[in-house]
Amino acid sequence: MKELYTWAAIGLIIGASTTGDVLLSHAMKRVGDVGELWKRHGLFSVIGRVLATPTFFLGLVAMAVAFYSLLFALSWGDLSLVVPASASLTFVANAFAARIFLHERVGKRRLLAALLVAGGVALMAI
Amino acid sequence: MTFRKYLVLAGVAVFSSAGDSLLARGMKDLGNVSLHHLSSLIFAIIDPWVASGILLLLAFFASYMAALSWADLTYVLPASSLGYVLVALVARFGFHEMIPPARWVGIALITAGVGFVAAGPSLTHRKHSDLPRRDAISPEASS
Protein backbone atom coordinates (compact mmCIF):
# COMPACT_ATOMS: atom_id res chain seq x y z
CA MET A 1 0.00 0.00 0.00
CA LYS A 2 2.91 2.32 0.81
CA GLU A 3 4.35 1.90 -2.70
CA LEU A 4 0.93 2.41 -4.28
CA TYR A 5 0.44 5.73 -2.43
CA THR A 6 3.97 6.83 -3.33
CA TRP A 7 3.62 6.11 -7.06
CA ALA A 8 0.07 7.56 -7.22
CA ALA A 9 1.43 10.76 -5.67
CA ILE A 10 4.38 10.74 -8.11
CA GLY A 11 1.89 10.44 -11.02
CA LEU A 12 -0.08 13.38 -9.64
CA ILE A 13 3.13 15.43 -9.23
CA ILE A 14 4.07 14.80 -12.89
CA GLY A 15 0.60 15.70 -14.24
CA ALA A 16 0.13 18.77 -12.06
CA SER A 17 3.65 20.18 -12.44
CA THR A 18 3.61 19.72 -16.24
CA THR A 19 0.26 21.54 -16.42
CA GLY A 20 1.59 24.26 -14.10
CA ASP A 21 4.86 24.68 -16.06
CA VAL A 22 3.01 25.06 -19.36
CA LEU A 23 0.51 27.59 -17.94
CA LEU A 24 3.20 29.64 -16.16
CA SER A 25 5.44 29.65 -19.22
CA HIS A 26 2.51 30.86 -21.34
CA ALA A 27 1.73 33.58 -18.78
CA MET A 28 5.32 34.85 -18.55
CA LYS A 29 5.73 34.98 -22.33
CA ARG A 30 2.69 37.25 -22.43
CA VAL A 31 4.18 39.45 -19.70
CA GLY A 32 7.56 39.82 -21.47
CA ASP A 33 11.15 40.00 -20.19
CA VAL A 34 10.70 40.94 -16.52
CA GLY A 35 14.28 42.25 -16.23
CA GLU A 36 13.70 44.81 -18.98
CA LEU A 37 10.22 45.67 -17.70
CA TRP A 38 11.58 46.20 -14.19
CA LYS A 39 14.30 48.54 -15.49
CA ARG A 40 11.89 50.62 -17.60
CA HIS A 41 8.66 50.60 -15.60
CA GLY A 42 9.57 49.47 -12.04
CA LEU A 43 8.82 46.43 -9.90
CA PHE A 44 5.15 47.23 -9.30
CA SER A 45 4.49 47.38 -13.03
CA VAL A 46 6.01 43.89 -13.39
CA ILE A 47 3.90 42.54 -10.51
CA GLY A 48 0.79 44.18 -11.96
CA ARG A 49 1.35 42.64 -15.39
CA VAL A 50 1.92 39.19 -13.89
CA LEU A 51 -1.19 39.40 -11.70
CA ALA A 52 -3.28 40.57 -14.68
CA THR A 53 -2.49 37.36 -16.58
CA PRO A 54 -5.22 34.70 -15.99
CA THR A 55 -3.04 31.70 -16.90
CA PHE A 56 -0.67 32.72 -14.07
CA PHE A 57 -3.34 31.91 -11.46
CA LEU A 58 -4.30 28.62 -13.15
CA GLY A 59 -0.60 27.73 -13.19
CA LEU A 60 -0.35 28.56 -9.48
CA VAL A 61 -3.29 26.24 -8.69
CA ALA A 62 -1.63 23.40 -10.65
CA MET A 63 1.69 24.07 -8.86
CA ALA A 64 -0.08 24.03 -5.48
CA VAL A 65 -1.55 20.61 -6.33
CA ALA A 66 1.94 19.43 -7.34
CA PHE A 67 3.42 20.83 -4.11
CA TYR A 68 0.95 19.07 -1.81
CA SER A 69 1.34 15.87 -3.85
CA LEU A 70 5.10 16.20 -3.22
CA LEU A 71 4.57 16.58 0.54
CA PHE A 72 2.25 13.56 0.51
CA ALA A 73 4.73 11.50 -1.53
CA LEU A 74 7.66 12.51 0.70
CA SER A 75 5.74 11.41 3.79
CA TRP A 76 5.43 7.89 2.30
CA GLY A 77 8.46 7.44 0.07
CA ASP A 78 12.17 8.23 0.22
CA LEU A 79 13.52 11.53 -1.09
CA SER A 80 15.94 9.54 -3.25
CA LEU A 81 12.98 7.93 -5.07
CA VAL A 82 10.28 10.63 -5.04
CA VAL A 83 12.26 13.65 -6.27
CA PRO A 84 14.34 11.98 -9.02
CA ALA A 85 11.42 9.84 -10.29
CA SER A 86 8.97 12.74 -10.46
CA ALA A 87 11.59 15.18 -11.80
CA SER A 88 12.93 12.87 -14.52
CA LEU A 89 9.49 11.90 -15.83
CA THR A 90 8.37 15.55 -15.66
CA PHE A 91 11.25 16.52 -17.99
CA VAL A 92 10.01 14.12 -20.65
CA ALA A 93 6.33 15.10 -20.17
CA ASN A 94 7.27 18.79 -20.39
CA ALA A 95 9.21 18.33 -23.63
CA PHE A 96 6.07 16.97 -25.32
CA ALA A 97 3.70 19.43 -23.62
CA ALA A 98 5.89 22.42 -24.61
CA ARG A 99 5.88 21.26 -28.23
CA ILE A 100 2.11 20.70 -28.34
CA PHE A 101 0.77 23.58 -26.22
CA LEU A 102 3.50 26.25 -26.34
CA HIS A 103 4.61 25.58 -29.94
CA GLU A 104 8.26 25.52 -28.89
CA ARG A 105 10.68 24.02 -31.38
CA VAL A 106 11.57 20.85 -29.54
CA GLY A 107 13.97 19.42 -32.11
CA LYS A 108 16.31 16.46 -31.79
CA ARG A 109 18.73 18.52 -29.68
CA ARG A 110 16.19 19.42 -26.99
CA LEU A 111 14.48 16.01 -27.01
CA LEU A 112 17.87 14.32 -26.60
CA ALA A 113 18.72 16.79 -23.83
CA ALA A 114 15.42 16.02 -22.02
CA LEU A 115 16.12 12.27 -22.24
CA LEU A 116 19.75 12.71 -21.06
CA VAL A 117 18.67 14.85 -18.11
CA ALA A 118 15.82 12.45 -17.26
CA GLY A 119 18.21 9.48 -17.35
CA GLY A 120 20.81 11.37 -15.35
CA VAL A 121 18.35 12.39 -12.65
CA ALA A 122 17.12 8.77 -12.40
CA LEU A 123 20.72 7.51 -12.01
CA MET A 124 21.38 10.05 -9.25
CA ALA A 125 18.85 8.14 -7.12
CA ILE A 126 20.98 4.99 -7.10
CA MET B 1 22.60 35.49 -22.81
CA THR B 2 23.83 38.05 -20.30
CA PHE B 3 25.58 37.42 -16.95
CA ARG B 4 22.36 38.42 -15.15
CA LYS B 5 20.42 35.72 -17.00
CA TYR B 6 22.99 33.06 -16.09
CA LEU B 7 22.65 34.18 -12.45
CA VAL B 8 18.86 33.73 -12.67
CA LEU B 9 19.34 30.19 -14.08
CA ALA B 10 21.84 29.43 -11.26
CA GLY B 11 19.19 30.60 -8.77
CA VAL B 12 16.67 28.21 -10.34
CA ALA B 13 19.12 25.31 -9.86
CA VAL B 14 20.33 26.10 -6.33
CA PHE B 15 17.06 27.19 -4.67
CA SER B 16 15.15 24.21 -6.09
CA SER B 17 17.50 21.53 -4.71
CA ALA B 18 18.04 23.25 -1.36
CA GLY B 19 14.29 23.76 -0.92
CA ASP B 20 13.47 20.13 -1.76
CA SER B 21 16.11 18.89 0.71
CA LEU B 22 14.75 21.03 3.57
CA LEU B 23 11.16 19.93 2.81
CA ALA B 24 12.22 16.28 2.88
CA ARG B 25 13.95 16.79 6.25
CA GLY B 26 10.81 18.40 7.68
CA MET B 27 8.40 15.77 6.35
CA LYS B 28 10.47 13.00 7.93
CA ASP B 29 9.88 14.71 11.31
CA LEU B 30 6.14 14.66 10.69
CA GLY B 31 6.02 10.98 9.73
CA ASN B 32 3.62 9.31 7.29
CA VAL B 33 0.54 11.38 6.40
CA SER B 34 -2.61 9.26 6.32
CA LEU B 35 -5.29 9.80 3.66
CA HIS B 36 -7.73 10.23 6.57
CA HIS B 37 -5.68 13.07 8.06
CA LEU B 38 -4.77 15.13 5.00
CA SER B 39 -5.35 18.29 7.07
CA SER B 40 -2.00 17.61 8.75
CA LEU B 41 -0.40 18.64 5.42
CA ILE B 42 -1.81 22.14 5.98
CA PHE B 43 -0.16 22.36 9.42
CA ALA B 44 3.12 20.94 8.06
CA ILE B 45 4.13 24.48 7.10
CA ILE B 46 4.57 25.32 10.83
CA ASP B 47 7.56 22.96 11.01
CA PRO B 48 10.79 25.08 10.81
CA TRP B 49 12.39 22.77 8.21
CA VAL B 50 9.28 22.82 6.03
CA ALA B 51 8.93 26.62 6.47
CA SER B 52 12.60 27.14 5.48
CA GLY B 53 12.10 24.84 2.50
CA ILE B 54 9.04 26.84 1.44
CA LEU B 55 11.03 30.12 1.66
CA LEU B 56 13.74 28.69 -0.60
CA LEU B 57 11.10 27.32 -2.98
CA LEU B 58 9.58 30.83 -3.15
CA ALA B 59 13.02 32.14 -4.18
CA PHE B 60 13.15 29.32 -6.75
CA PHE B 61 9.70 30.32 -8.02
CA ALA B 62 10.73 33.97 -8.49
CA SER B 63 13.87 32.95 -10.41
CA TYR B 64 11.90 30.42 -12.43
CA MET B 65 9.21 32.96 -13.45
CA ALA B 66 11.90 35.48 -14.43
CA ALA B 67 13.67 32.85 -16.56
CA LEU B 68 10.42 31.80 -18.25
CA SER B 69 9.80 35.41 -19.28
CA TRP B 70 12.78 35.35 -21.66
CA ALA B 71 13.44 31.67 -22.38
CA ASP B 72 11.59 28.53 -23.50
CA LEU B 73 10.27 26.06 -20.92
CA THR B 74 12.42 23.33 -22.53
CA TYR B 75 15.47 25.62 -22.08
CA VAL B 76 14.84 26.56 -18.44
CA LEU B 77 13.85 23.13 -17.06
CA PRO B 78 17.18 21.32 -17.67
CA ALA B 79 18.92 24.17 -15.78
CA SER B 80 17.01 23.26 -12.62
CA SER B 81 18.51 19.73 -12.76
CA LEU B 82 22.01 21.19 -12.32
CA GLY B 83 21.07 21.49 -8.64
CA TYR B 84 21.38 17.70 -8.26
CA VAL B 85 24.90 17.91 -9.67
CA LEU B 86 25.79 20.76 -7.29
CA VAL B 87 24.48 18.83 -4.26
CA ALA B 88 26.49 15.73 -5.29
CA LEU B 89 29.68 17.78 -5.79
CA VAL B 90 29.26 19.50 -2.41
CA ALA B 91 28.68 16.07 -0.79
CA ARG B 92 31.84 14.69 -2.43
CA PHE B 93 34.28 17.56 -2.02
CA GLY B 94 32.72 19.41 0.93
CA PHE B 95 31.67 16.48 3.13
CA HIS B 96 33.98 13.81 1.61
CA GLU B 97 31.06 11.43 0.97
CA MET B 98 31.59 8.54 -1.43
CA ILE B 99 29.70 8.92 -4.72
CA PRO B 100 28.83 5.57 -6.42
CA PRO B 101 29.89 5.20 -10.09
CA ALA B 102 26.25 5.22 -11.29
CA ARG B 103 25.79 8.66 -9.73
CA TRP B 104 28.87 9.98 -11.56
CA VAL B 105 27.30 8.68 -14.80
CA GLY B 106 24.10 10.52 -13.82
CA ILE B 107 26.10 13.72 -13.26
CA ALA B 108 27.71 13.32 -16.69
CA LEU B 109 24.32 12.74 -18.39
CA ILE B 110 22.73 15.81 -16.74
CA THR B 111 25.73 17.98 -17.59
CA ALA B 112 25.67 16.76 -21.21
CA GLY B 113 21.90 17.38 -21.43
CA VAL B 114 22.21 20.91 -20.05
CA GLY B 115 25.15 21.54 -22.39
CA PHE B 116 23.08 20.43 -25.41
CA VAL B 117 20.28 22.85 -24.54
CA ALA B 118 22.56 25.73 -23.50
CA ALA B 119 24.38 25.56 -26.86
CA GLY B 120 21.11 26.31 -28.68
CA PRO B 121 18.85 29.37 -28.67
CA SER B 122 17.05 30.25 -25.42
CA LEU B 123 13.86 31.20 -27.24
CA THR B 124 12.31 29.56 -30.31
CA HIS B 125 9.25 30.20 -32.45
CA ARG B 126 6.04 31.48 -30.93
CA LYS B 127 2.65 31.98 -32.51
CA HIS B 128 1.69 35.61 -33.19
CA SER B 129 -1.18 35.40 -30.67
CA ASP B 130 1.28 34.39 -27.94
CA LEU B 131 3.44 37.51 -28.33
CA PRO B 132 3.70 39.90 -25.38
CA ARG B 133 1.34 42.85 -25.22
CA ARG B 134 2.06 45.86 -27.43
CA ASP B 135 3.87 47.87 -24.75
CA ALA B 136 5.78 44.94 -23.29
CA ILE B 137 9.44 44.45 -24.03
CA SER B 138 10.21 41.57 -26.39
CA PRO B 139 12.67 38.96 -25.11
CA GLU B 140 15.81 38.30 -27.10
CA ALA B 141 15.20 36.17 -30.17
CA SER B 142 18.21 34.10 -29.24
CA SER B 143 21.55 34.45 -27.54
Average pLDDT over residues B80-97: 77
* Residues in chain B within 8 Å Cβ distance of A63: 61
Task: Return d(Cα B85, Cα B51) in angstroms, integer.
Answer: 24
Return d(Cα A81, Cα A87) in angstroms, integer: 10
Contact A30, A94 (CB under 8 A): no
Which residues of chain A have a CB within 8 Å of the CB of B64? 24
**Would you say the ipTM is above 0.90?**
no
Q: How confident is the model at residue B136 (pLDDT cuts 50, 70, 90)?
A: very low
CB-CB contact of A19 with A61 (8 Å): no
pLDDT above 70 covers a percentage of chain B that reads: 79
Q: How close, in Å, is residue A100 to chain B by CA atoms?
A: 12
In angstroms, what separates the C-alpha of B96 from chain A's closest C-alpha? Answer: 17
Q: How confident is the model at residue A7 (pLDDT cuts 50, 70, 90)?
A: confident
- pLDDT, tens digit (0-9, with 9 covering 90-100), for A66-117: 988 888 888 888 777 787 788 888 888 998 899 999 998 888 888 888 889 8
Residue A55, min C-alpha distance to chain B (Å): 12
Please give the tally of structural domains in chain A: 1
Gap between the Cα atoms of B139 and B118, Å rounded: 17
Alpha carbons within 13 angstroms on the beta-carbon side of residue A96 total: 7
Residue B125 has pLDDT above 60, yes or no: no
Q: How many CB pairs under 8 A join A and B?
A: 186
Task: Give me the domain span that covers residue A71.
Answer: 2-124
- Contact between chains at B125 and A104 (C-beta distance less than 8 A): yes
Query: B132 and A115: CB-CB below 8 Å?
Result: no
Identity of the residue numbered A15: G
